[in-house]
């Protein structure tokens, strides 16, 4: 519990923090005593539940709607976070989507840009707006959500998504060198098959999931809590020595 206790009274912004992995991350931070700003795009009801949960525990909480592919919305998100929480210690860049499975010959220019904007450009917008506030602290932390697809290339039809998630791995390494001097560590997590999320409910068949699980050394799929705990570990080490790293969360199906 030592690492978790280090999160008490920390001010955290979680993008897409009201569904799937993001919801679990938000809940874990709240349970760790952190003050939270929860961004959402469509999951307003769940965002309100999380906010009320935090407020009942005596912690600061705010929910903010926005389309993070729009620079203005990203800037407003950070501004409202600072206004509500009084500062920022930790940024969790969780927003992202596969959108749809499309092979190379099916990918149009608009679709390609849409996937890149949702997964990568939005992350840059939010991080660029948040970095000056993170720098106000002696130590601060950013955790980016990548994917096993960024390591392996994903299943057929994941070309655009996997490419964007692979870019996040490099983005994380590059940003860690830029922000290290200001006391901000930057790391990423790369989840594998995490069932019980809208992502896999929408884009992964039971047959595909079963085939993937058969190749996982620990013989099970992951769950949202598996990812949330890893994110909290990296975030709680805000004064630690880990930066520029990606933590793989896939049951041992891929490692390097």
Distance CA 233, CA 119 (A): 23
d(CA 38, CA 50): 8
| Class of residue 45 by CB neighbours under 10 A (exposed 0-12, middle 13-18, buried 19+) | exposed
Residue 53 annotated to the active site: no
Residue 256 burial (CB count, 10 A): 5
Handedness of CA 94, 100, 106, 111 (dihedral sign): negative
Give, rounded to a whole angstrom, the gap between the first and last alpha carbons of the chain: 28
CA distance 25 to 18: 9
The per-residue DSSP string of 201-251 comes to HHH--HHHHHHHHHTSTTSS-B-HHHHHHHHHHHHHTTTSS--S-EEEEST
DSSP label at residue 156: T
DSSP assignment of 27-59 equals HHHHHTT-EEEEEESS-HHHHHHHHHHHHHTT-
For strands 35-40 and 61-65, give the pairing: parallel
Dihedrals φ, ψ of 50, to 5°? Answer: -65, -40
Among 40, 133, 161, 171, which one carries the catalytic annotation? 161
Write out the catalytic residue numbers: 161
């Amino acid at each position: 519990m030592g690492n978790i206790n280090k999160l008490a009274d920390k001010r955290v912004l979680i993008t897409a923090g009201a569904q799937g992995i993001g919801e679990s991350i938000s809940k874990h931070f709240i349970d760790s005593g952190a003050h939270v700003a929860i961004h959402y795009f469509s999951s307003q009801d769940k965002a309100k539940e999380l906010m009320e949960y935090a407020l009942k525990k005596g912690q600061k909480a705010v929910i903010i709607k926005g389309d993070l592919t729009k620079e203005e919305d990203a800037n407003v998100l950070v501004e409202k976070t600072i206004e509500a929480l009084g500062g920022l210690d930790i940024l969790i860049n969780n927003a992202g989507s596969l959108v749809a499975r499309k092979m190379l010959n099916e990918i149009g220019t608009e679709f390609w840009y849409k996937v890149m904007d949702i997964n990568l450009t939005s992350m840059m917008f939010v991080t660029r707006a948040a970095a000056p506030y993170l720098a106000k602290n002696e130590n601060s932390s950013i955790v980016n959500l990548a994917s096993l697809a960024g390591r392996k290339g994903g299943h057929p039809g994941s070309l655009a998504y996997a490419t964007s998630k692979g870019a996040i791995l490099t983005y994380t390494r590059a940003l860690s060198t830029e922000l290290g001097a200001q006391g901000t560590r930057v790391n990423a997590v790369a989840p594998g098959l995490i069932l019980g999320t809208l992502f896999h409910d929408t884009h992964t068949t039971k047959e595909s999931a079963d085939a993937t699980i058969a190749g996982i050394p620990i013989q099970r799929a992951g769950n949202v809590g598996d990812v949330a705990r890893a994110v909290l570990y990296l975030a709680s080490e805000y004064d630690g020595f880990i930066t520029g790293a990606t933590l793989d969360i896939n049951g041992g199906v891929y490692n390097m």
